[in-house]
Structure 1
């Protein structure tokens, strides 16, 4: 999706242009392994683009050239020997680049940003199960996001054993699990509890989605929640039509 000279995005569909909100909207998707976040992001993006919203889909770790360079180091486990603190710093460095190069410009432009993982994953993976000090994690987060908090967070909840089965099926027989998928079931269960604790502590931002349901049911729940939030946040939007 390319930025056009007049500031709108080309949807890539027959030259039509998508709607830009007067104020952008930043939605993050969180949860354990195999919860179906990527599937639901793709489905939601299709629905929103069909309604002519400008949508940017991105992910963490990664999402910008600088952050993608760090992604392999983190997911391969190459950073693990340096310990959880250094790993958290690498995540934060990647996030800072991602925010400033991709997320903030898109939100300021008026786009809807859908991000696969963000700050809550760091709070859970490096903070809770990484054993890092809360003050350290909060300071790192503040620097990395520089005020770019999500407007809405969907937390996909699934039993970790089922999620890991899904993740293995998704990978296929020839692909190895990443550094986080390889960890013990007990650790994955702690992460599930930590995500739910975040949702309970921040109900104005977070919505828990039952990810154990079939994909169509989950899609219905996600779509209803997101469009309801958009209607409350942005009651009117600026439409742009296709060029003559």
Structure 2
């Protein structure tokens, strides 16, 4: 059986990743491609338990180092129990966030380097990288407004951080895309849900039957 594909959707808060991940999985299924839709943190029983620890509580509940370790632990379980079995069975895995979010969010500031986070990923998930990463992009003001509407004033402990933090996260994603053009595709996330969805499919057109 041929190996499946592992596709991740990345970007800051409010760019539409979760919506577009669902639409993409449905569009691929319509083309006869068996898909698995998953998310991070989460995607397996153990990882979902860790998700509750990561996203609840005060913004300073965890240090950056502890937060990075928790994300790496959740990802290790997710990879072992959900992602790799599906890809090895020939399915296409669509994941709402993955390693690049850890690199962007926990790499902000001077506590952890990108090399630190990649080292954790090497231990926990054997360095697995997506086959393709779709980076959804919006101006920060627009994405913040969307996130505010989505969260209705109840942002989680990471999404609720200051604007400067989210600006640094967006800049980090751009650096990753510049460094790995073979893996990343930048997606304009403005416009209707359907328009953005068409852009995602176009970014996968070389793989589609």
Q: CA deviation at 1:162?
A: 1.3
Confirm or deny that 1:157 pairs with 2:137.
yes
Give the TM-score normalised by structure 2: 0.94
1:195 aligns with 2:173: yes
Q: CA deviation at 1:227?
A: 2.8
Q: Secondary structure at the match of 2:61?
A: helix
SS in 2 for 1:61: coil
In the alignment, the residues of structure 2 paired with residue 100 and residue 37 of structure 1 have an alpha-carbon distance, to the nearest angstrom, of 23
Q: Distance in 2 between matches of 1:161 and 1:199?
A: 21
Match of 1:180 among 141, 146, 158: 158
CA distance in structure 2 between the partners assigned to 1:161 and 1:129 by the alignment:
22
Question: Where in structure 2 are there 5+ consecutive unaligned residues?
Answer: none
CA distance in 2, matches of 1:169, 1:158: 15
- SS in structure 2 of the partner of residue 81 of structure 1: coil
Task: Report deviation, 1:109.
Answer: 0.4
Cα deviation, residue 226, structure 1: 1.4
Which of 50, 62, 84 lines up with 1:70 in the alignment?
50
C-alpha separation in 2, matches of 1:38 and 1:135? 28
Match for residue 240 of structure 1? none
- Which TM-score applies when normalising by structure 1? 0.81
2:78 equivalent to 1:106: no
Distance in 1 (alpha carbons) for counterparts of 2:61 and 2:159: 17
Aligned length: 209
1:169 positional shift: 1.3
How many Å separate the matches in 1 of 2:24 and 2:196? Answer: 11
CA deviation string 1:181-204 (max 9, x = no partner)? 211111111111110110010000
Which residue of the other structure, out of 198, 201, 205, is the alignment partner of 1:223?
201
Displacement of 1:128: 2.6
User: Which secondary structure state, in structure 2, belongs to the residue aligned with residue 121 of structure 1?
Assistant: helix
Alpha carbons 1:30, 1:120 under 8 Å: kept: yes
Cα offset, 1:88, TM superposition: 0.3
Cross-structure match for 1:241:
none
Partners of 2:59 and 2:158 within 8 A in 1 = no
C-alpha offsets along residues 174-228 of structure 1, whole Å, 9 cap, x if unaligned?
Answer: x611111211111111111110110010000001111123222211110111132
Question: Is 1:83 matched up with 2:63?
Answer: yes
Q: Is the 8 A contact 2:10 2:101 kept in 1?
A: yes
Deviating 4+ runs (over 2 angstroms) = 77-82, 128-131
What is the distance in 1 between the residues matched to 2:51 and 2:111?
Answer: 21
Greater CA radius of gyration, 1 or 2? 1
Deviation at residue 66 of structure 1 after TM alignment: 0.1
Post-superposition shift, 1:86?
A: 0.7
| RMSD between aligned residues | 1.7
Q: Please give the alpha-carbon distance, in whole angstroms, between the structure 1 residues aligned to 2:114 and 2:131.
A: 23
